[in-house]
Chain A
């Protein structure tokens, strides 16, 4: 869990905060949890991811940024490492392989790094409209491929 938060937030302290606050939410929402087996992990990670996204979207951390605490690995390196950890026979990986690289990168950047359309456009040096189209078409291809 901490690894997922750290990958999105890029800072150990923020990642720990996100995990901590997620467990507070888990406690508060535990009555809402449907005890269907197999869903606990999904539920837990959804809470964690939403918490990370909120932290990212509301961040004023640019101001208080201490360079020594920030992970320096480039986006590409993080995404590539994660992508390589997917098994080659995994359905999602097989389908991601079929996407044009721009579409694949845009989708992976949003899920794993928590980037918005605008941030993806900025980091990839592409117009916002193109990024939105890449994501839309990429998701459509993935849905068709995985259905």
Chain B
């Protein structure tokens, strides 16, 4: 075991291949050495994109009440344990906690779900410097595009697109009027999301945005090949 590199052991923790003992060892190392903790976080981030490939499924409505019930059961157990250990009686505190817990719990859950569901970056998008409404071939608005100087682009779909199973929506823009379209990314889950691209000039008024159907994984040529779902030119909002 000791002849294996730390990097390999960390990767195995992230993949889920490490034994409980091994996991505990790595966690203990993380607790005493921030560089190991950072290494573990980097390894997690390398694979995290695979989590986004799972189907998006709605959380059942009764889940929060089930979570609360579990926490209630716990609260009943804990004071007894603490009392017998002859420490401090936390029962009054627990009772107080219970009254505000439901609110706090749903708050935490909502915040985390928002972060997890929409992508954390969405919460940090600056005010848009350009906005484009993409129209479909019938002239109906199908998506709203909001771009800012950091080239974070929020795409809000305005209708449910019927994407064929072997196709994916890809978002394009033309930073240079005479240049080629550049991919901003895929809307793999057919949901609104924020796309982030490095190295593009800040978006400007009249810049073209469009969404096309492309083969899974995105256009093989890195240029639009499929039919256009929506197309529009950016405007600068008046604040």
Contact = CB atoms under 8 A, between A and B. Distances in A.
B41 A85 contact: no
Interface residues of A, number: 54
A74 interface: no
A54 to B, nearest CB: 9
B15 A143 contact: no
B58 interface: yes
Contacts of A85: 52-53, 168, 188-189, 216-217
Interface string A32-67: 000001111110111001100100000000000000
Interface stretch (B62-70, B125-133, B144-152, B155-163): B62-70
A42 B188 contact: no
A31 to B, nearest CB: 11
Given A27-B67, A84-B217, A1 B15 contact: no
Q: Is the interface of A mostly helix, strand, loop or mixed?
A: helix
Interface string A106-128: 01101110101100000000000
Contacts of B54: 3-4, 6-7, 82, 112
A88 B218 contact: yes
A41 B120 contact: yes
Interface of B: 7-8, 11-12, 14-17, 41, 44-60, 63-64, 66-67, 70-71, 74, 101, 105, 108-109, 111-113, 115-116, 119-121, 124, 168, 183, 185-186, 188-189, 216-218, 220, 222
B55 A3 contact: yes
Contact of A84 (B111, B185, B216): B216
Contacts of B46: 92, 142, 146
A135 B218 contact: no
A89 interface: yes
Query: Which of B108, B111, B168, B183 gathers the greatest number of chain A CB atoms within 10 Å?
Result: B108
Contacts of A114: 16
B7 to A, nearest CB: 6
A27 B105 contact: yes
Contacts of A139: 8, 11-12, 15
